[in-house]
Amino acid sequence: MADYAHPEVLVSTDWVAQNLNNPSLRIVEVDVDTKAYDEGHIPGAIGWAWNTQLCDTVQRDIIPKAAFESLMGSSGVGNNTTVILYGDNNNWFAAWALWQLKIYGHKDVRLMNGGRKKWLAEGRELTKDAAKVTPATYKAQNADLSIRAFLPQVQEALAKKSADMVDVRSPQEFTGEILAPPGLPETCQRGGHIPGARSIPWAQACNEDGSFKTADQLKTLYANAGISGNRPIIAYCRIGERSSHSWFVLTYLLGYKNVTNYDGSWTEWGNLVGAPVERGAAAAAAS
Amino acid sequence: MKAEEHATRTLEVEGGWQVKLTSYRLGEVYRCTADNVSPGANIARAEGATREEAESKALERAKQLLGRTRRQSIGS
């Protein structure tokens, strides 16, 4: 992992296995499928539910600061705790959690490379036992919104052509052939992508075992789509979790500056009255 | 407890959708998850006394969900 720009934000499954009893760590599983944790998890890991604990459950937003402090404290996470995040779908929502921990200024948070998929495939120890947690006191920093893009910023970037838009959804979602990932509920009125966005599906950043590709491979992947890191980058997907994954890659593995995650994503843009939409793949290929 | 007999296979179901089945044994129970390959989201999970039973249940549920996905015309 030494060739990444910030290798300190990534740990291997081996490293986690060797640090299960490290008292300075809190291992947290965050899954798309919120039942996966109950089936069996890394010994000592706790589980966070993305849809109830990592968001505002009334208005659409990330977790509010006070709720975040409460979650961290009740999870036994202090300000100096090292948080190790992992989850299913190659860390989709683990990356979403990491992005929010960064927003609230947590000092040391890392992803387990390969996530739950790699841990299971390697036949490593699992348990159904609940982790022992001693509640802690946690004080979050004010939200750092420099890593988050809101609709007006995206609209301005589109109008001024001042940022590279990276659409990390599947090619079929990008073209507008489907409105949501196959098998999941349709949550937008229109299909397609933000005009000028480049299609770089999140999964292209991963190896078959769920781990990240090398820095050189990632650099080439993005460069081939015209993304070199010399302009601001706005990543988006459908609801912001897959784009958290790509935001992590661009920010920490490639070290690109000024990368933001537009978590409103397609469920916001694809429902906006009057928002420009591009369909098909031609525009992306031509750019 | 460990995930044992870990296996994956990908198949195409009605409507041309791809489904990847990942199955393994946890203790005495076989577990199976089904994902939609692109973008790779888990859409169904099931368990059974055998791998075949777990896979069959997960696949059946995946087919139900995939059957609800509509393709839009993107012609110009």
Can you give the pLDDT at residue A287? 40
CA distance A20 to A27: 8
The CA distances from residue A45 to A77, A99, A106, A120, A126, in Å, are 12, 19, 18, 14, 10
Which chain B residues are Cβ-neighbours of A170 within 8 angstroms? 38-39
Q: Which helix (H) or strand (E) holds A153?
A: helix A151-160
SS (H, E, C) A2-46: CCCCCHHHEECHHHHHHCCCCCCEEEEEEECCCCHHHHCECCCCE
Q: Which stretch of DSSP H or E encloses residue B4?
A: strand B3-13
Q: A191 vs B74: CB contact, 8 Å cut-off?
A: yes
Question: How does pLDDT run across B45-76, given as a tens digit for each residue?
Answer: 999 999 999 999 999 999 999 999 999 988 75
pLDDT for the residue A160:
97
**Chain A residue with minimum CA distance to B41:** A89
pLDDT of residue A286: 39
Partner A, chain B 1-30, Cβ-Cβ below 8 Å: 1-4, 6, 17, 22, 24, 26
Question: Is A188 an active-site residue?
Answer: no
CB contact under 8 A, A176 and B70: no
Please state the pTM of the whole predicted model. 0.95
Residues B16-52: pLDDT tens digits?
Answer: 999 999 999 999 999 999 999 998 889 999 999 999 9
Residue ranges of chain A with pLDDT lower than 50?
A: 284-287
Phi–psi pair at A164, nearest 5 degrees:
-90, 125
**Does B2 score more than 70 pLDDT?**
yes
Distance from CA of A3 to the nearest CA of B (A): 27
